[in-house]
Chain A
Amino acid sequence: MTSFVKPKIHRLNEPTNALGKSRADYDGAMSTLCAGCGHDSVTAALARAFYELSSDPKDVVKVSGIGCSSKTTTYFLKDAHGANTVHGRMPSFATGAAAVNKHLTYVGVSGDGDSLSIGLGQMAHAIRRNVDMIYMLENNGVYGLTKGQFSASSDIGSKAKKGATNMLPPIDPAIMALSIGATFVARSFSGDKKQLVSLIKAGIAHRGFALIDVISPCVSFNDHKGSTKSYAHTYQYYHKAVHADYVPPSEEITAAYEEGESMPVELHDGGTILLRKLDADYDPTDRTAAMAKLMESQQTQEILTGLLYIDESRPAMAEHKKLPDTPLHSIPYETLNPGAEALRRIQEEFR
């Protein structure tokens, strides 16, 4: 809480994007999360990414489940569509929404509780279907809203605020996603806005499901010594493996990279993701190697970040389900309901 609502201030000579909107036009309501919560930084990164992409908020759909993370859809893009759904059921809601209108941009925001416990099955199947959405998993290792119990992403040996030690193995959302055919897997940290913003932009441009696992520390219940998801721990073990820059179709690629260091990935929207390998031997297009690297980093406690895996070749749900180009709301009633005679003819085929 704050004493007053973050004001929307339009300053003289402030920067604007191609739509003439300022960064502040992409804000939402004032956050009611704890001061210092990593989720607020993810919110800010989303607002900035949509501003930089010059997205029109009315073409964006925000969906979330239940939890601290799921409150955050309120805090950006106040003019976008959105639904705060049932605990763990956001991926299904998003799948349905994406099925009826493939022209909108879908942003799911969830947390480690919502996605890796109650909603694990839901998330897994949205990944398998390659629903065209960006899925932000705000990962802090605890149930913050219920005062700090370990979540399914807590590392073995991580300590709770009152001293208990977690003994259960963690679910690594990135490894799990790779194992079931995810086409865009990234990891980042709420404290690295530069990386996060470029990953969000790349994820939005990607055709299909884009998972961004964001280490987003819980400042109230998991930011102490002994926690493996605190700010201090994350800054210490944070490692950038691959940097991804999204270059929109309208722009020329101007940055010069060393031979072998850069790797352009052509996208279906005509844009490009420019991958810059910070670890020379890391190949973000090799699923097996990426998984091996991630499992290795689990042992060393290293937090591997960046665009860890990308596959632009698999069709998204809309394509392999041959969904119509026209949104459901614009398909005439006569087409949706061709009448009793048409039904009779279809039934006839099955006799």
Chain B
Amino acid sequence: MKATDTSNPDYFHKVVDCQWACPAHTPVPAYIRLIAQGRYGDAYLLNRDSNVFPGVLGRVCDRPCEPACRRTRVDGEPVAICRLKRVAADHREDIADRLPQKPEQTNGKRIALIGAGPASFTVANDLAPLGYECTIFEKLPEAGGLMRANIPAFRLPEKVLNEELQYILDMGVELKLNSPVSSMKTLLDEGWDAVFVGTGAPKGKDLHLPGREDADANIHIGIDWLESVAFEHIDKIGKNVLIIGVGNTAMDCCRTSLRLGAENVKVMARKPRNFFKASEWELEDAEEENIQIVVNHSPKAFVTENGKLVGMTFELMEYDIDDKGDITGQRTIGEETLPCDDVILAIGQENAFPWIEKDAGIEFGKWDVPIVDDETFESTRKGVFFGGDAAFGPKNIIWAVEHGHQAAISIHRYCQGRDLHNRAPREVELQSAKMGMFEWRYSNAYTAAERREMEHVALVDRFQRLNIEVELGFNAEQIAIEVQRCLNCDVQTVFEAPLCEECDACIDVCPVECLSITPAADSEAELRASLTQPEAPEDQSLYVSNPLPLTGRVMIKDENICLHCGLCAERCPTSAWDMKEGVIKIPHADDQMETVA
């Protein structure tokens, strides 16, 4: 097996599990170190480079980083990455003068952005400072997209959202509210240099069961209902509410119902808990509010009396589940009717483009979704780009941001007449973290502390108004402890084979035994067999050195279990091991051009 090619920027990037898992590749350990130093503004700006909305995402991100966190493989609980992001946002000083500024002169290129959600705002954030004239069209009376309409204010305060949208508008972005785009062809005729579609997935799925029409007045589509609540068109609901579906929208619907006067709210799930789509923490937050989640109930019919909804009938399900946790069989074992005053359907959503004409030059594939290039986000019509949920169906905010970054790169290259595919590559920059004997410029000591728990507003207080934020944020003590739980995976262990004299000091001192020196082997499997813990998750690498000078054997390091404590580098008498901070450079629109007009 050949020595590991660490010049490939993806190698060290992958070691930083959280950053690798984040769609926008936020440099998590680096901003956590800034928080540890009390540099909240710096931490906020570092976040913002990647994810644009740290205050929003620090509250409501889907957190793909957390399940990936190396810490889960040590003590089972990830670093509270999302909460720390909120810390940076909540405690930042005024950073407005450090943001990209509105250019003195524009470059004359006009970009139309349809839908004022996270994707369009990210495109504007990346392009406006480069001189582009960006105009965002929004059908609703306020900007934010799903961040405004679908996420309730008790999870995301309006002030936080407004601030972060305003930063972008201040870059000279024009926002046209109450301005639905009803015809793509008309828009294209207006001569925009590029068009970006960030209209999300606005169509909530309906459930066509017996009684649907009769009970229409009390059956609500989840995302539409949340939007009506957000814009204060709806301010009450019945005493008994059933929520159908168990994803994150269902969690928002059930908790919002409680705040509008519902007393008995049940979330009805077709399958057992392991199959729920909602994030574990959203389920916990709902259950804390005494929401009952009922499993194995499959909707069968709406029950009406005198043209009014009075209940809903469910089939009681039983499932066969194999060792892997997959369902192999199912059957109905009975029926149950639950009384209710209102039903909210939260069973999924899809994108819909009734305003894009069939002959607009934009091709649609199966399921009526547009055909979009997954690198450039360009549609089949040159100069028209898609991003966020509008591109590939419902994902989440952080994906929408990343789509926005990529689409902005494309639009920039497109407007400059350059090839869309030949984009600037990612790079990694390594710099030794050594400050002196046994001194590093990161806190390398291992902290055994458990994950800090988020404090919530007391149950008796939180339902008084719809917009009382439930999560209180970390206090000073929680911050101080939680930042130390981060293992600094971006401070990489880097090995120089020619310096090694095979004294084994690194192997012996390693607290998790992730190192060994073994004869070179043909395959990774052979090398793994010699490890103390040969088993590793699939995407975890083995770091293999060049042959060592004295014996020709190789040094191997199991990236899966290394804790980046730096003891190997401290004990190495020849500095063959060094701890180097690796900065993964993720190119955005402003990194693309050799020359910009």
Contacts and interface: CB of A to CB of B under 8 A. Distances in A.
Partners in one complex: yes
A38 interface: yes
B193 interface: no
Contacts of B192: none
Contacts of B73: 11-12
A14 B533 contact: yes
A7 B550 contact: no
Interface stretch (B51-59, B226-234, B496-504): B496-504
B438 A2 contact: yes
Interface in A17-71: 23-24, 31, 34-38, 40-41, 43-44
Interface residues of A, number: 34
Interface in B460-502: 501-502
B191 interface: no
Interface stretch (B175-183, B299-307, B561-569): B561-569
Given A23-B513, A36-B573, A219-B573, A190 B445 contact: no
Nearest to A223: B501
Contacts of A190: 503-504
B73 to A, nearest CB: 6
A147 B551 CA distance: 29
A9 B512 contact: yes
A338 to B, nearest CB: 52
A15 B533 contact: yes
A329 interface: no
B446 interface: yes
Interface string B121-142: 0000000000000000000000
B570 A3 contact: yes
Nearest to B440: A3
B505 A235 contact: no
B568 to A, nearest CB: 10
B403 to A, nearest CB: 35
A191 interface: yes
A35 B505 contact: yes
A314 interface: no
Size range of the interface on B?
35 or more
A198 B191 CA distance: 79
Contacts of B448: 7, 9
Contacts of A8: 511
A52 to B, nearest CB: 11
B374 interface: no
B439 interface: yes
B503 A1 contact: no
B444 A4 contact: yes
A235 B446 contact: no
Contacts of B1: none
B572 A35 contact: yes
Interface in A116-141: none
A321 B462 CA distance: 81
A199 to B, nearest CB: 16
B503 A38 contact: yes
Interface in A194-237: 217, 219, 223, 231-232, 235-236
Interface of A: 1-4, 6-9, 11-12, 14-15, 23-24, 31, 34-38, 40-41, 43-44, 190-191, 193, 217, 219, 223, 231-232, 235-236
Interface of B: 73-76, 438-440, 444-446, 448, 501-505, 507-509, 511-513, 532-533, 550-551, 561, 563, 565, 567, 570-574
Going nearest first, the 7 A-B pairs with the smallest beta carbon separation are A36-B573, A44-B508, A3-B438, A7-B446, A4-B445, A36-B503, A235-B550
15 contacts: A3-B438, A4-B444, A6-B509, A7-B565, A9-B74, A11-B75, A11-B512, A23-B513, A31-B509, A34-B573, A35-B572, A36-B503, A41-B503, A44-B508, A190-B504
Given A12-B74, A24-B511, A193-B507, 6 more contacts: A9-B74, A11-B74, A11-B561, A23-B513, A31-B509, A41-B507
